[in-house]
Amino acid sequence: MGSQSSLLKSFYHAFEGIKTAFKEEPNFKIHTVIALAVLTLAFFLNFSVSEWLLLLFTISFVLIIELVNTSLEDIVNLVNPQIHPLAKKAKDVMAAAVLLSAATAAVVGSVLFIPKLLEVIR
């Protein structure tokens, strides 16, 4: 029973983390809203199983990187509230990771959606 309780607590804390990120992090909220819109459009465009898998992986990748970025920023601020060159470097590199993941998602989205949307237009 103890391990089941521990597992439930782990899920509880994970969902608390998602809820906190959504409430407190504007970029996470933006990524989530865009993801929901993209998933809705994919549903109406009748994506194949492989297209769904690629889309879900890409969305998850962006959201995970955003969560890691938030965690790193909070840890850096906790350890060193003053502006330090290494703290700035860590934050800038993590922000670059978020930017790169979002740019990659835009490319993947374009590859998946443009042909389908052109098909609907024709």
Residue 82: predicted pLDDT: 85
Of 16, 66, 73, 119, which residue is the catalytic one? 66
pLDDT score at 58: 98
Segments forming the whole domain that contains residue 27: 2-121
Measured CA to CA, the distance from residue 19 to residue 3 in angstroms comes to 24
pLDDT digits (tens, 9 = 90+) for 15-33: 999 999 999 999 999 999 9
When divided into structural domains, the chain yields a total of 1
Active site residue 25: no
CATH of the domain at 26: 1.10.287.3610
Q: What is the pLDDT along the chain (122 residues), one digit of tens a residue?
A: 567 789 999 999 999 999 999 999 999 999 999 999 999 999 999 999 999 999 999 999 999 999 999 999 999 999 988 888 999 999 999 999 999 999 999 999 999 999 999 999 98
**Burial profile 1-17: b = 16 or more Cβ within 10 angstroms, e = fewer:** eeeeeeeeeeeeeeeee
